[in-house]
Amino acid sequence: MLRLVLLVSALFPFQQNRVVYNAPVDSAYTLRAEESHFPKSPGVCCTSLFRLLLVDRANPNRYREIAAIPEEYEYTYTVKRADRSSLVVERTDSGYGIYEGSFKIFFDVGSKRLLKRIEFKPLEGMKSVSIQEARRAALDPALFDQIRNFDPNRNLFLNRSQLPQLLRNQSLPQSTYRDFARARPSRVRTWRALSKGTTGTS
């Protein structure tokens, strides 16, 4: 897929090239995320390319590409959270603003390489949790059921003031790649074995 996007980009000019995130990650580097769109063929829109770069703060012309993620459709990307080891990105349909899933990128600044990319939909996992389990975790069953059945595509214009009081201005703790590796060591060993000899880009 990446080769196809690169070939199309050579034949047709960028339709859009937008920086969606740009912030220092440490004293030496800036973390920059970009989205680009390419026509599939003349007059037919569009594929997307999401790139994550480590840019030298002393010389912005020097950078290392951590990930290049080509996608078949035209998406708008929004970085929801970022730190020095991970980035959470939400994608929406560029034409209608419909939520199309999220992904989390784990990377290592020292080696300047991608560690792992995980696709997810935040609410999907909650649907497998029973009300009984929520009650055992001391969560209000009615509130949990409201969250579990929330449909972001039917609530695109939901005002924050309409959220339950307990959820307003609350952020969930974010796991790091180290947390993930500690919780799933066997999966990390498998991924490392499979990624030996790769360049670290998608």
Write the pLDDT tens digit of every residue in 30-60.
Answer: 999 999 998 887 767 789 999 999 999 999 9
Is the separation of the CB atoms in 74 and 49 below 8 Å?
A: no
Give residue 62's pLDDT: 96
Q: What pLDDT does 157 receive?
A: 45
Q: Would you state the pLDDT for residue 124?
A: 64
Whether residue 198 is predicted with pLDDT greater than 70 in this model: the reply is no
Q: Kindly state the tokens that stand for 107.
A: 């990377």
According to the model, what pLDDT value does residue 78 have?
Answer: 96
pLDDT at 130 over 70: yes
For the chain, helix, strand, coil in percent to 5 are 25, 35, 35
Dist. CA 47–CA 16, nearest whole Å = 11
Contacts of residue 107, Cβ cutoff 8 Å, sequence gap at least 6: 52, 66, 67, 85, 86, 87, 113, 114, 115
pLDDT in tens, 15-29: 558 999 999 999 999
pLDDT confidence of residue 137 = 77
